[in-house]
A and B are shown apart, each in its own frame.
Chain A
Amino acid sequence: MSDAASTSTTEVVGRSFALSSLITSAVLIALVTLPAVLPEFWTVNIFVRAMIFGIVALSLTFLAHYGGFISLAQMVPAGVAGYTIAVTVPDAIPANGFQLPYGPAVALALVLSTVAGLTIGAVAVRTREIYLLMITLAIAVSFYFFVQANVEFLNGYEGIRNVMGPDILSVPLRTPAIFYHAVLAVSVALYALVIYVSRAPLGLVLQGIRDNPRRISALGFNVALHRIVAFGLAGFIAGVGGVLLTFYNIGISPGTVSTHATISILIIAVIGGLGHPIGAFIGAFIFTIFDTFAADIYDRDRFNTLIGAVFLTIVVASPDGIIGLIKRGNALLARDRSPVSRSQTSIAP
């Protein structure tokens, strides 16, 4: 490559980095100021819900993009965390024997969801691709049947209600503005965590395993262990989503971890695009919009047909989701502008 070309490539990269951090800050500022502009219905019923589903979907996107594992069991650690909260906190109905304040309950929930993630990883460790997909689906559905059947601790079909959430600085978490900003802060933190891990040794090894497990193994890394740890981290992320979801719904019932919910998380991640962690949140936003306004768009009861059609269209037209569409759109624009960036886009995946 000639000197001139390489300098301008660096320039392009530098410019796109500056541009993307500019966009990121603009989006963040917009999100933080949103409650001042939008009615509560939008912030709570659309944005908070989208961010919570986005967090659970983020755990799937993390596994899929950096590890190459499509797990359908991400609602399991989320459910484990949610049920742990519901079973331990004092205000829950029906009440139970072992009670904890919210702080330790949340900590316990996240530990258990991480353990659940590690367990799923350990069960699925020797399988790949479609086998992994099938096994995780089987785990997810079994978990759903299990919580539905467990009346003794989890109150079976009805689930556990009245989980009001903790007070933050003696203000109830349920105050809409507080809840919105708390969920936003957690989403941003988890998103940053995923980006950080992707550049840390763990993430680099995972991406190596995704591309060529044999070579990584030959380099002396324990492939199985890294895979299990990735599932553990994904379990933690999904667990945070599960805790927030339980606060949002003021309780938890088997419906939260149903096959329908499991598939919804997959739909969210795929619609947004598995190619980048932000896809999880984009997908969750689109999903929530359709979920909320299905009645106006097509038919109140036919939400599934609507979202199924959207999902099918995206999978058939653009397997890498909205993110993929945006990337290809950018590549097209860039190609028109300069010959240098064309060579760049052809290298990019």
Chain B
Amino acid sequence: MSLELFLTVALNGLTVSALYFIVAIGFSLIFGLMRSVNMAHGTLFLVGAYAGVAVFYPLYDDGNAYAWIIALAAGISASAILGVVLQIVFLGWMQGQELRQTLVTIGISIIVADQLLAIFGGLSQQFYAPDILFGSVPVPFVQGGQYSTFRLFQVVVAIGVGFGLWLILQRTKLGIVVRAGVDDRAMLAAQGVNVPLISVVIFAIGAALAGLAGVIGGTAQPFGQEKDIEFLLTSLVVVIVGGMGSLPGTALGALLVGMAEQFGQSLFPAYSVMLTLLIMVAVLAFRPHGLLGRKLS
């Protein structure tokens, strides 16, 4: 493997990891506070992407320069709204019944995926990046000396999301409450904090991030049916490897999974999935709670 190829693959790995981080951090946040595995997280990704597409094309066809921004807002809102509905209508009142919550989210993801197929059809769709992010920029030492602007932008967004969440968790009242809730939910409620309301807020943030990832991911590469399962699986592996509910853990997990996937695909394309699985198995064998996770009570 030449240096140029190596750097290109590494850059691909980094940009893919960035997207995985944005998807998985929402999943991890929701799990951390509510201990509920949201199997509909991939569905929230897809809902964000399709909601974005629904508003994007009419605006884009009229030649509006801000079409992508509107699509981004639409995708984020649609996912956040669906997440809030999910939490209020189904998951909130079964708090503590983890398996039941998991099954409910599986049921919802089946129905929503099928309805999306009915509405939008089975063809792949893609957003056009806004002009400022379109095309490529010169990057030294990579193949062809050029790299996609949007995929670099993806990294910037991921860093922004990570830093923003870190600020919220470490520096705001909401963050203090959330961190306390991760440790001891019952004691937090005893202190007079409205835990169900906090749960809805966190679910909305997590779902909004999935929607954000939907539009970002749908701009970087085409999306369609089965992407919900793909991104659910990625989120699962990332948080299992990195550690549930941990922000740095999710970043590390996303980086490992993204790099493994890209290097796997360039070295032995047919079996790159197995590499991801092997990483997960190895982590589980030595650290069942993930690399940076800790044992949750």
- Is the Cβ of A138 less than 8 Å from the Cβ of B240? yes
- Is the Cβ of A302 less than 8 Å from the Cβ of B104? no
- Is the Cβ of A146 less than 8 Å from the Cβ of B99? no
Specify the chain A residue showing the minimal Cβ separation from B101.
A130
Query: Is there a chain B Cβ closer than 8 Å to A308's Cβ?
Result: yes
CA distance A11 to B104 in the complex (A): 41
> When the two chains form the complex, which single residue of A129, A139, A309, A312 contacts B99, counting CB atoms closer than 8 Å?
A129
CB neighbours (8 Å) of A124 from chain B are: 284
Q: State how many angstroms separate the Cβ of A71 from the closest Cβ of chain B.
A: 12
Query: Is there a chain B Cβ closer than 8 Å to A45's Cβ?
Result: no
| Contact (A263, B106) CB under 8 Å given A146-B274, A304-B113 | yes
- Is the Cβ of A316 less than 8 Å from the Cβ of B104? yes
Select the stretch in B3-11, B75-83, B181-189, B275-283 that faces chain A.
B275-283
Q: State how many angstroms separate the Cβ of A45 from the closest Cβ of chain B.
A: 23
Specify the chain A residue showing the minimal Cβ separation from B226.
A259
Select the stretch in B135-143, B144-152, B192-200, B229-237 that faces chain A.
B229-237
CB neighbours (8 Å) of B157 from chain A are: none
> When the two chains form the complex, which single residue of B90, B237, B288 contacts A316, counting CB atoms closer than 8 Å?
B90
Q: State how many angstroms separate the Cβ of A55 from the closest Cβ of chain B.
A: 22
CB neighbours (8 Å) of B285 from chain A are: 126
CA distance A127 to B37 in the complex (A): 15
> When the two chains form the complex, which single residue of B98, B106, B226, B236 contacts A266, counting CB atoms closer than 8 Å?
B106
Specify the chain A residue showing the minimal Cβ separation from B289.
A131
Q: State how many angstroms separate the Cβ of B33 from the closest Cβ of chain A.
A: 14
- Is the Cβ of A305 less than 8 Å from the Cβ of B111? yes
CB neighbours (8 Å) of A123 from chain B are: 281, 284
Query: Is there a chain A Cβ closer than 8 Å to B190's Cβ?
Result: no
- Is the Cβ of B284 less than 8 Å from the Cβ of A150? no
> When the two chains form the complex, which single residue of B113, B114, B237, B288 contacts A126, counting CB atoms closer than 8 Å?
B288
CB neighbours (8 Å) of B236 from chain A are: 134, 137-138
Query: Is there a chain A Cβ closer than 8 Å to B100's Cβ?
Result: yes
Query: Is there a chain B Cβ closer than 8 Å to A133's Cβ?
Result: yes
CB neighbours (8 Å) of A142 from chain B are: 273-274, 276-277
- Is the Cβ of B98 less than 8 Å from the Cβ of A130? yes
Q: State how many angstroms separate the Cβ of B94 from the closest Cβ of chain A.
A: 9
Interface of B is mostly: helix
CA distance A301 to B225 in the complex (A): 15
- Is the Cβ of A139 less than 8 Å from the Cβ of B98? no
Instruction: Classify chain B's interface size.
Output: 35 or more
- Is the Cβ of B273 less than 8 Å from the Cβ of A304? no
CA distance A298 to B37 in the complex (A): 30
| Contact (A312, B233) CB under 8 Å given A138-B240, A146-B274, A302-B114 | no
Query: Is there a chain B Cβ closer than 8 Å to A141's Cβ?
Result: yes
Q: State how many angstroms separate the Cβ of B50 from the closest Cβ of chain A.
A: 16
Q: Which of B269, B273, B285 has the most CB of A within 10 A?
A: B273
Query: Is there a chain A Cβ closer than 8 Å to B160's Cβ?
Result: no
CB neighbours (8 Å) of A301 from chain B are: 118
- Is the Cβ of A133 less than 8 Å from the Cβ of B102? yes
Query: Is there a chain A Cβ closer than 8 Å to B271's Cβ?
Result: yes
Query: Is there a chain A Cβ closer than 8 Å to B170's Cβ?
Result: no
- Is the Cβ of A309 less than 8 Å from the Cβ of B106? no
CA distance A127 to B287 in the complex (A): 11
- Is the Cβ of A133 less than 8 Å from the Cβ of B37? yes
- Is the Cβ of B270 less than 8 Å from the Cβ of A311? no
Query: Is there a chain B Cβ closer than 8 Å to A286's Cβ?
Result: no
CB neighbours (8 Å) of B106 from chain A are: 263, 266, 311
Query: Is there a chain B Cβ closer than 8 Å to A166's Cβ?
Result: no
- Is the Cβ of A312 less than 8 Å from the Cβ of B104? yes
Q: State how many angstroms separate the Cβ of A283 from the closest Cβ of chain B.
A: 13
Query: Is there a chain A Cβ closer than 8 Å to B58's Cβ?
Result: no
Using a CB-CB cutoff of 8 Å, which residues 183-230 of chain B contact chain A? Answer: 226, 229
- Is the Cβ of B271 less than 8 Å from the Cβ of A146? yes
- Is the Cβ of A308 less than 8 Å from the Cβ of B240? no
21 A-B residue pairs with Cβ-Cβ distance under 8 Å, sorted by A, are: A123-B284, A126-B284, A127-B284, A130-B37, A131-B288, A133-B99, A134-B236, A134-B240, A138-B233, A138-B237, A145-B273, A146-B274, A149-B269, A150-B270, A151-B270, A266-B103, A302-B118, A312-B111, A315-B104, A316-B104, A319-B97
Using a CB–CB cutoff of 8 Å, the interface residues on chain A facing chain B are 70, 123-124, 126-127, 129-131, 133-135, 137-139, 141-142, 145-146, 149-151, 259, 263, 266, 270, 301-302, 304-305, 307-309, 311-312, 315-316, 319
Known: A305-B115, A311-B103, A311-B110. 16 other contacts (CB 8 A): A129-B99, A130-B35, A135-B240, A135-B284, A138-B233, A138-B237, A141-B233, A146-B273, A149-B271, A259-B229, A305-B111, A305-B118, A308-B108, A308-B114, A309-B111, A319-B100
